[in-house]
Structure formats: C-alpha cells, structure tokens
Amino acid sequence: MSRQSTDEEPAVSPRLRPATSVDVARLAGVSRATVSHVLNNQVERFSAETVARVRDAADALGYVRSAAGRTLVKGRSDFVVLVVPHTTLTNIQDVIETLSAEIERLGLNPVVHFSVPQAMNATSRRLQHLVETLRPAGVIDLGGLSARDVEFLTENGVSSLTEREPPRFNAVIGDLQAAHLHARGYDTLAYAFLSDARDDPYGRMRADAVTAYCARLGLAAPPYMRVPIERDGAQRAVEELLARTGRPVGVACYNDLVAIALVQAAGGLGVAVPGELAAIGVERAPVGQVMSPRLTTVVADVPVSLSHILNALAEDFGGESRRRPTPDEAFSIVQGETT
C-alpha cells in the first residue's frame, strides 16, 4: 500500500528549471522573436507597452539570457580574457582583482587564462579554443601572450586592450631602484633575480633599466645574480657577488622576497647591512616591514599603475577615463633600514 502524505510531511516540490525565452514570450503574450529583440535592446519597431511587458515578464521569471545568444547578436560575448604569465610576481592577485572589478563594473565578465611557457603549444591551443568558443570582447595581456598568440588574436579580430601605448612601468621600477641606491652612496650596483623555474618577464625589464641607468652615469655594468629563497643558497649568492664586486655594493632586487633573503644571508655572513651591502625590494611585503633591519622597497599604487588598461576598457565599453599618471604617481619608495 502506498504511503499517504500527512500534515507533518511537506509535499515534495517539483524540481524547478531555469526560465527560457519561450516562457517569457508566453507570459508577455508575444513571439519568441519579439522577446529576443527587446532583451537585446532592438526596440525601435515595438511599442513602449510591448517593451515594458516583455521586460516585466523577464524580471518576473528571473530570465537570464544565454551568453551564446548574446554572442550571436553582437558578434562578440561579454567576456574579457586576462592573460596571466606563469610568473613569480607576488602581487599578481592584486592586479587581477583590480582589473576584474572594473570589468564587472562595466557589465562584462572576466576570464583568467594562465600561460605556461613549459607547455607553450598546449597553452596556445587552449587560448585559441577559448577565443573561438567565447568570442571575447577583448583580451588584456599581462605578459603571457606569445608572438603566435598575438598574431592569432589579430587574425580573429579580437581587440587587445594592452597595445595602446603601454607605459614602461617595469623600467621605471628598475630605474627608481638604481637611482635610490646611487643617491645613498653606492657606486657599484647589482641586480638580483629570484632563482625560480617560472618565467620572469618583469624582472628582465627591471634589470635592463638598472643596466641602462649605470650606462648613463658611467658606472660599471651591474652583474646579475639569482637568489634562492633558502639560507645556504642565498649565502652562496652573497659570497659570489662580493667576490665579483667588492664592498660596498647596492643590490636592486626583483621583489621583497629576494631582498629579504639577501639581507638575512648577509647578516649570517657578518656582512654589514646597509654599510657593506644595501638591498632594495619591490612590492612592500608585510614581512619586510616587521623584520630587522626593516626593508627599503618600492611600492606601487596598483589602480594607478594599471590606468592605461583601465582607460582602454573605458574607451571600448563606456567607462570613465582616467588621467595618465606620471611614474612618481604610480610608484614610490618606502625608506627602510637596508639602504
């Protein structure tokens, strides 16, 4: 015998499905084509009463238009792809969050694509599939596109939001570090990369800027070094550097982790910081500001430093443009005790 429902046992509700354009058309008393036109803002041929009826029906049903449908109408989707390199940059999350917030504010949807140099062919195929499937409104390259990727995007008419006079901010960082060390009395400079298997496009640009600074002022070309984030390796790196340059030497570091490793290694070797070795980092990591000696570093105003991309988004999608900042507005030095 079947079990009877009681007052204590609530009836099981049928599973609800998302509303479709057919449901909206039925509720509004119009055709499905009319619904499509109205919800894509193609309303010139319809009365105000019809437009209001369709929109009210869509709101009442909680109807969400499909991305595929919007893509067919507009020729592109509402997605913006952020191409991120497989990088050692420690504040990349801040960059992604800033750009994603602006993309969403403009009514678009961010999609993050990570590039992996060790699997470049697979990475490029994945990006190509993403572009062909999503038909993105634009692509923002944070340093992860290969020349082949750029060519593919151009051939497919995908707008690049980072090719419009991008500022040389990584060069500014390197130049700022070198000028600070030189002003503090260090005529011998060096550049320290992070010893890591990941790609480092930002570090290369900063190191080139330190080299260019030395050339302009007639200083010796700065040696490059790679610093692992572990005690013995960092101490070997300091010993090798001092054997090449002598003392004192000022080191522009790729980021705060490298600078912290150098400073701690120098301390373990009895090398005076900042007397015999000075170090300046980038990104103002909190641990660098509580260690002793407190780290000198370059700090970025992330939204200001991304203004060229934010302006490109505004230009294409109707946002508010920003004044182009000067390097002094984008970056500043936090004076610590290591220079």
Domain coordinates in residue numbering, the chain: 21-65, 75-155, 169-334
Gap between the Cα atoms of 165 and 107, Å rounded: 25
Predicted pLDDT of residue 199? 60
- Edge-first strand listing for the sheet containing 331-334: 224-227, 189-194, 249-253, 277-282, 296-300, 331-334
pTM: 0.71
Q: Which CATH superfamily is 75-155 part of?
A: Response regulator (3.40.50.2300)
Predicted pLDDT of residue 216? 97
The DSSP line for 223-235 is: PEEEE-SSHHHHH
Domains 75-155 and 169-334 share a fold: yes
Do 50 and 83 touch, CB atoms closer than 8 A?
no
User: What CATH number labels 169-334?
Assistant: 3.40.50.2300
Q: Which residue has the tokens 């550049």?
A: 191
Q: What is the pLDDT of residues 34-67, one digit of tens each?
A: 887 888 777 888 999 999 999 999 889 888 765 5
* Kind plus residue range of the DSSP H or E element containing 328: helix 327-330
Gap between the Cα atoms of 125 and 314, Å rounded: 29
Do 146 and 201 touch, CB atoms closer than 8 A?
no
Nearest to 279, CA basis, from 299, 306, 256, 302? 256
Q: What is the pLDDT of residues 25-40, one digit of tens each?
A: 999 999 877 887 888 7
Do 228 and 236 touch, CB atoms closer than 8 A?
no
Mean pLDDT, contiguous 10-residue spans, the chain (339 residues): 43 55 89 82 87 92 66 68 78 89 88 74 80 87 83 85 70 96 98 81 89 98 96 97 97 96 97 98 94 96 88 82 77 96
Three-state DSSP class for residue 120: helix
